[in-house]
């Protein structure tokens, strides 16, 4: 047996976290089925109830795969590289292919366990009737199996390119979420249309597993418009997914040699040392030039906040400005697309899409900024240094949180023009827009609090990042999974209660987005968000106090 497979697989199995994840998934699947298991003697001839259970189960399994699988491969190669064991492996008689296969197989075997642990629940769904074995359960497992390999190869690919385990986790989760959700957005505007844009948007949509899974569950796909959806796409999804395995696999293999250690120590020329023309050009190009010598931190700014902005790779000023510019561009494109697309969009739908995009941005961005606030310092040894400075724990915490608050504020502000256009088109919506903006602000605070609190509980940044992502995404996705199962299997009250878990449902309800108009979520959603955020900030504060006191 390939020794790498042995070590990787048993290494994952030995991890208490992996065991806990497996156990939690098995319990969750069983509970999901048990909750909807018929308790009376009525015969459900339509099979509606069993399909309802199958939907919850299927989406839950998809969420499990999306959350769990990328975490292990995303840090696998880079962790070995940084600890020096990859050099030993490359120097051994093992070929790069066997190292790669070993690592891939280790992750796949673990993922297989995840899927196997769900089989009893799948069998229970089938036993309830109304669910097709091949076109339903079989197809679901086929899609999930394809996804598992895609995420494993993607994780290993990212891991072979990054310099730290947490960067690997962040980037991999970002790409996975992008593949799942962002690929659907262009199609929402161009579906039913012709021309190369419509064609590209259609193929982009095939990259996402959601349309295929939703069809398997007997639902129209996300953001589709009834008959215009066009159907099909399963074969294309399979083709693209298998293609991506090959691309990621080959790209990773080309790194598994001396190249992975080839890192230039070139520092670049400081802009201040360049010629005037070059300095001017860079000023125009960057606005905030990363190669320019920085002025000292002024007295009125929290030094920890400035440090956070300066030391993170994504989040330095030039990146933030690019992000804001990107948001403004997307906002404009959204308006343009809505005005020119073949579909007649209402202001409410556009508003819903904007909320949706903003939430994705916040959910993808925030855990990566917050998870490492404390664990990153502890990981690098910086925490000890901060503790010996005269900075108080409160000032450290304030600086760290402010660095994220400013970033999120910029992201939220960047889409304001879009909302202004909405008010211009339909002035009566100004109150709704205000309420939506408050909901979005709460979303940002809520995500920040949860990400920071969860991340602070771990010493290792990669683990903190993974756990933060899984927690935040769970809190945002679970209500929508339940919402997708509205009426069957979940009733109105259940959906309304679960939608209170985060403020996004309230935002969509206020903006009267299709499917959310029947729910009355304000001001309860704000209270819940406030309570959860308050509790999480308390956890964060206690953890910082615990870590800063002398024991």
Partner 1 sequence: MTSASPVVEIKQLTKRYGDFTALDSLSLSVGAGQILGFIGPNGAGKTTTIRILVGLSKATSGTASISGADCLQESRKIKRLVGYMPDRFGSYDNMRVAEYLDFFGAAYGIGRRERTRRIAEVLEISNATHMKDLFVEALSHGMQQRIGVARTLLHDPQVLILDEPANGLDPQARIDMRILLLKLAEMGKTLIVTSHILPELARVCDLVAIITKGKLRAFGTLDEIMRDIRQKRTFEIQLVNVEQVDRVAALVAAHLSAPPEDVTVAPAETMVRFATSLSDLELAPLLTHLIEQGETVAQYREVTSDLEDAFLSVTKHDDGPATATADTADQDERPAGSEEQAASS
Rounded Cα gap, residues 32 and 38, in angstroms: 12
- Three-class SS of residue 176? helix
Nearer to partner 1, 230 or 290 (CB): 290
Rounded Cα gap, residues 181 and 425, in angstroms: 28
Largest CA distance in the chain: 85
CB of 69 to partner 1, least distance (A): 27
Nearer to partner 1, 220 or 290 (CB): 290
- How far lies 84's CA from each of 74, 237, 481, in Å? 17, 38, 42
H helical segments located in 40-137: 48-68, 71-83, 85-90, 96-127
Rounded Cα gap, residues 451 and 346, in angstroms: 34
Rounded Cα gap, residues 344 and 374, in angstroms: 48
- Three-class SS of residue 317? helix
The count of other CB atoms within 10 Å of the CB of residue 421 is 18
CB of 99 to partner 1, least distance (A): 26
Q: 224 phi and psi, to 5 degrees?
A: -90, 165
Asked if 188 and 222 touch (Cβ cutoff 8 Å), the reply is: no
Q: 501 phi and psi, to 5 degrees?
A: -60, -30
Nearer to partner 1, 395 or 426 (CB): 395
CB of 386 to partner 1, least distance (A): 7
Task: Report DSSP state, residue 491.
Answer: -
Per DSSP, the chain holds a count of helices (H) and strands (E) of 25, 0
CB of 167 to partner 1, least distance (A): 9
Supply the DSSP string of 500-535, one letter for each residue.
TTSTHHHHHHHTT-TT-TT---TTHHHHHHHHHHHH
Nearer to partner 1, 292 or 426 (CB): 292
For residue 278, what are its two tokens?
């070059």
- Cα 22 → chain centroid: 20
Burial of 55 (0-12, 13-18, 19+ CB in 10 A): buried
Nearest alpha-carbon partner for 496 in 510, 482, 507: 482
Rounded Cα gap, residues 537 and 448, in angstroms: 9
CB of 89 to partner 1, least distance (A): 24
Nearer to partner 1, 268 or 427 (CB): 268
Rounded Cα gap, residues 304 and 316, in angstroms: 14
Q: Kindly compute the dihedral angle of the four CA atoms of residues 308, 311, 312, 313, in this order, to the nearest 10 degrees.
A: 160
For residue 58, what are its two tokens?
């299927």
Rounded Cα gap, residues 279 and 282, in angstroms: 5
Nearer to partner 1, 201 or 375 (CB): 375
CB of 308 to partner 1, least distance (A): 9
What are the residues facing 486 on neighbouring strands?
A: 490
CB of 383 to partner 1, least distance (A): 8
Nearer to partner 1, 310 or 398 (CB): 310
Nearer to partner 1, 43 or 295 (CB): 295
CB of 164 to partner 1, least distance (A): 8
CB of 196 to partner 1, least distance (A): 39
Nearer to partner 1, 45 or 550 (CB): 550
| Sites of contact with partner 1 (CB under 8 A) | 164, 265, 267, 270, 293-299, 303-304, 306-307, 310-313, 316, 380-382, 384-391, 550-551
CB of 377 to partner 1, least distance (A): 8
Nearer to partner 1, 384 or 487 (CB): 384
Nearer to partner 1, 258 or 300 (CB): 300
Nearer to partner 1, 196 or 299 (CB): 299
Nearer to partner 1, 17 or 313 (CB): 313
Q: 490 phi and psi, to 5 degrees?
A: -95, 140
CB of 331 to partner 1, least distance (A): 29
- How far lies 267's CA from each of 129, 161, 163, 296, in Å? 65, 19, 16, 20
- Cα 256 → chain centroid: 27
Nearer to partner 1, 220 or 393 (CB): 393
CB of 271 to partner 1, least distance (A): 11
CB of 407 to partner 1, least distance (A): 15
CB of 303 to partner 1, least distance (A): 4
């Amino acid at each position: 047996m390939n020794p790498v497979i042995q070590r990787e697989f048993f290494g994952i199995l030995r991890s208490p976290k992996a065991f806990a994840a497996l156990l939690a998934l098995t319990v969750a699947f069983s509970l999901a089925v048990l909750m909807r298991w018929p308790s009376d003697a009525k015969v459900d001839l339509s099979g509606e109830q069993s399909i309802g259970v199958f939907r919850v189960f299927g989406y839950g399994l998809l969420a499990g795969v999306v959350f769990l699988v990328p975490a292990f491969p995303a840090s696998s190669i880079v962790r070995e590289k940084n600890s020096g064991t990859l050099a030993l492996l490359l120097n051994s008689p093992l070929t790069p292919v066997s190292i790669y296969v070993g690592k891939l197989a280790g992750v796949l075997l673990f993922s297989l366990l995840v899927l196997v642990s769900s089989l009893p629940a799948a069998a229970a769904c089938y036993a309830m009737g109304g669910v097709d074995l091949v076109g339903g359960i079989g197809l679901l497992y086929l899609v999930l199996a394809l996804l598992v390999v895609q995420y494993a190869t993607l994780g290993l690919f990212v891991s072979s390119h990054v310099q730290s385990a947490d960067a690997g986790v962040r980037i991999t989760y970002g790409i996975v979420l992008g593949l799942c959700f962002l690929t659907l957005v262009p199609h929402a505007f161009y579906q039913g249309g012709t021309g190369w844009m419509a064609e590209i948007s259609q193929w982009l949509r095939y990259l996402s597993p959601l349309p295929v899974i939703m069809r398997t569950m007997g639902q129209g796909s996300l953001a589709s418009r009834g008959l215009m959806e066009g159907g099909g796409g399963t074969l294309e999804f399979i083709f693209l997914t298998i293609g991506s395995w090959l691309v990621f696999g080959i790209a990773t293999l080309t790194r598994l040699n001396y190249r992975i250690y080839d890192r230039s120590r070139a520092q670049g020329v400081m802009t201040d040392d360049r010629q005037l023309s070059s300095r001017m050009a860079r000023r125009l190009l960057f606005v905030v030039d990363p190669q320019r010598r920085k002025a000292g931190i002024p007295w009125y700014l929290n030094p920890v906040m400035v440090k956070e902005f300066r030391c993170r790779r994504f989040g330095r000023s030039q990146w933030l400005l690019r992000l804001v510019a990107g948001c403004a561009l997307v906002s404009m494109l959204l308006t343009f697309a809505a005005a020119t697309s073949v579909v007649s969009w209402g202001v409410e739908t556009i508003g819903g899409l904007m909320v949706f995009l903003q939430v994705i941005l916040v959910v993808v961005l925030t855990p990566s900024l917050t998870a490492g606030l404390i664990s990153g310092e502890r990981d690098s040894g910086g925490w000890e240094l901060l503790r010996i400075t005269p900075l108080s724990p409160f000032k450290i915490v304030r600086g760290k949180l402010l660095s994220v608050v400013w970033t999120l504020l910029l992201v939220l502000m960047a889409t304001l023009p879009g909302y202004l256009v909405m008010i211009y088109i339909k002035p009566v919506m100004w109150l709704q827009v205000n309420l939506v903006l408050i909901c979005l602000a709460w979303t940002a605070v809520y995500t920040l609090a949860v990400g920071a609190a969860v991340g602070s509980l771990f010493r290792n940044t990669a683990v903190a990042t993974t756990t933060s992502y899984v927690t935040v995404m769970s809190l945002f996705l679970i209500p929508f999974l339940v919402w997708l199962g509205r009426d069957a299997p979940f009733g109105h009250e259940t959906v309304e209660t679960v939608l209170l878990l985060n403020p996004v449902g309230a935002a969509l309800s206020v903006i009267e987005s299709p499917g959310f108009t029947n729910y009355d979520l304000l001001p309860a959603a704000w209270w819940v968000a406030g309570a959860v955020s308050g509790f999480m900030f308390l956890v964060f504060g206690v953890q910082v106090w615990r870590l800063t006191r002398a024991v």
